[in-house]
Amino acid sequence: MHATIWPSRIDILGAGELAKESWEPLLDELKAEHVPSLTPTGKRLSGVISPSGRADAFIYRTIALPDEETIRILGKYGIQASVGSEGDAPVAPRSDDDLQP
């Protein structure tokens, strides 16, 4: 499980490995909020299943926590994290239908 921290979003690849009961405290610490049109109604994250079956999660950043603090929080939950480089543009989450040739 690895997270990439972007200015507006945190991508967690392999998010299915995180215990279900850990999500709410993690989202609380990250100060995650529901983002209309980006997260399902009432939810504070969005998720997709990759074609390989891996569950990935996307947390949209609405409150600016320093990247170092975000890395520390993710680390508490066993999630290795790094800050995305400027040259790498984050890709918006897509449904499996978008991944077909």
- pTM score of the predicted model: 0.80
**Residue 42 belongs to a domain:** yes
**Residue 101 belongs to a domain:** no
What domain range is 50 assigned to? 2-81
pLDDT at 101: 36
Q: What CA–CA distance (Å, rounded) separates 15 from 18? A: 6
pLDDT at 47: 93
Domain count, the chain: 1
Q: What CA–CA distance (Å, rounded) separates 95 from 98? A: 6
pLDDT at 77: 96
**Residue 91 belongs to a domain:** no
Q: How many CA atoms lie within 13 A of 7 on its CB side?
A: 4
Residue type, 73: I
∠ CA(58), CA(96), CA(7), 5° rounding? 25
Which class for 5: exposed (0-12), middle (13-18), buried (19 or more C-beta within 10 A)? buried
**Residue 61 belongs to a domain:** yes
Per-residue pLDDT of the chain (101 residues; tens, 9 = 90+): 999 999 999 999 999 999 999 999 999 999 999 999 889 998 999 999 989 999 999 999 988 899 999 999 999 999 999 999 765 555 555 444 433 33
**Residue 89 belongs to a domain:** no
**Residue 57 belongs to a domain:** yes
**Residue 29 belongs to a domain:** yes
